[in-house]
Structure 1
Amino acid sequence: MSHASERAYADLRLEILKGVHPAGTRLREEQLAETLGLSRTPVREALRRLESDGLVTLTPNRGAEVVRLGVEDFEEILEVRSVLESHAARRAAERKDVDVAPLRALCAAMEYQLSALDADGYDEITRLNMEFHRAIHRAGGHRLIPDLLSRVIEVPLVRRTFDQYTSAELERSFMQHRELVEAIDVGDGDWAEAVMRSHVRAARAALLRVVTEPGTST
């Protein structure tokens, strides 16, 4: 893939994940090419790749559209996430040699962002949270789970879970992060797995509260 195609892919992917293009939005090649300052060819290649990622659908004579997900889709995504992330947390704890200092640093960074929350704060918390979870996936020593999880986490509304949280829910989420780090640090696989299941269950409640609201675009 050319540099232009890579750029188009990266820019469009980020815009979709951040909700710039909501579910159901038609993505017109000509308009996107003009906005990105590129020709239509790299944009077309980027859209094909985004279709493979499950972020857009390509339909003959209609072009590209940001994928729409229903309540059942989110239920399935969260079920898969719960199983895989809980297993990853258990494996990370059972290795008993994980350096938890980077995880603690990420916890502190998220807590700081919450204390100084501004218009861009949720974006930064989301970025730090993704890195925290990826670090646990890697700590488990898995080859495939990080890639599998990226497919179920890198969905627009799932990625922006923190946008849906109340202040109390955010604080509880961060407490669970700290508890996960402690469970991994002491090598308690049962504890780590249980905390992660509870953590994903809280995310499920917040997401389903949003997607079941009338008029919600997912």
Structure 2
Amino acid sequence: MSKASQDAYRKIRSGILSGHFPAGGFVTEDEFAQFCGLSRTPVREAIAELVSEMLLQRSDTNRVFVPVWSDEDEEELFTLRAMLESHCAARAARLISDDQIAALRTHCDFIDKAISQNGEPDVSGFVEGNRRFHAVILAAAQSERLGQLLRFVVSQIVVHRTAEQYSRADMQQSQRDHRDLVSAFAVRDEAWAGAIANTHIRRAANAYKTSRAS
């Protein structure tokens, strides 16, 4: 993509994740262009990329909208993510470097600070720390194919909506999973790391379902 298209992609994606463009709502190219402060040409290319990532969809009449996921869609996404994250963690346990383990510990410290804020936890900080943590694991797994699959399946919309519903206790449990993963990586235990990653994602799935039901 051109630089202008990349800028449009980042801005539109951020608008989707923040809820500025609500699920189910149709958005025209002109509206996206106005939002980005760009012409329609780079916006059109950005939309095509976002459609390929399932963050946008096209209707039968070619109108663009933010998708609405059914319960079955969401469950399938979590199931696929649990399988992929488990494989990713097991592979990373075999290939991870000492420097990457140190980076994971640094990201855990960052998340700890977000959770322990006075008053309400810093959800944005928690989400960002979580993103950095899992990015290191993916890099350690050294598989571009796996990375492509995870980017296709993992939706930051679900991640952020799940985190928004987390209590401080939920965040602390998630962080214990992170610390356990670091321990598994430190001893290069593939089975342990894979099992923790699977439980970690299933726990998130159930937190999300609970928040939807309440």
Q: TM-score, normalised by structure 1?
A: 0.88
Structure 2: 5+ residue stretches without partners: none
Given that residues 77 and 152 in structure 1 are in contact (C-alpha distance below 8 angstroms), is that contact kept between their aligned partners in structure 2? yes
Task: Quote the Cα distance in structure 2 between the aligned partners of 1:73 and 1:55.
Answer: 13
Question: Counterpart of 1:136?
Answer: 137
Change (3 A) 1:62 1:141: closer
In the alignment, structure 1 residue 16 sits paired with structure 2 residue 27: no
CA gap of 1:41–1:120, structure 2 versus 1, over 3 A, is: farther
Taking the aligned partners of 1:64 and 1:118, their CA distance within structure 2 comes to 40
| Structure 1: 5+ residue stretches without partners | 214-218
The structure carrying a bigger helix percent of its residues is 2
Task: Give, in whole Å, the separation in 2 of the partners of 1:14 and 1:181.
Answer: 30
| 1:187–1:66 Cα change, 3 Å | same
Q: CA deviation at 1:106?
A: 0.2
**Distance between the aligned counterparts of 1:4 and 1:97, measured in 2?**
36
Percent identity, please: 36
**How well do the aligned residues superpose, as a CA RMSD in angstroms?**
2.1
The corresponding residue for 1:216 is none
What letter is aligned with 2:202? Answer: R
**Which is further off, 27-36 or 165-174?**
27-36
Per-residue deviation at 1:117?
A: 6.0
Partner SS state of residue 204, structure 1: helix
State the shift of 1:203 in Å: 0.3
Alpha-carbon distance, 1:60 to partner: 5.7
Q: In structure 2, what is the equivalent of residue 158 of structure 1?
A: 159
Aligned residue pair count: 213
Q: Deviations over 1:2-31 (max 9, x none)?
A: 322221111101221232222112212222
Residue equivalent to 1:37: 37
State the TM-score, normalized to the length of structure 2.
Answer: 0.90
Instruction: Within 5 Å, give how 1:112-127 maps onto structure 2.
Output: 112-116=113-117, 121-127=122-128
Letter in 2 for 1:35: F
| Superposed CA offset, 1:182-208 (max 9, x none) | 110011222211211111111010112
| Alpha-carbon distance change, 205 to 117 in structure 1, aligned in 2, over 3 angstroms | farther
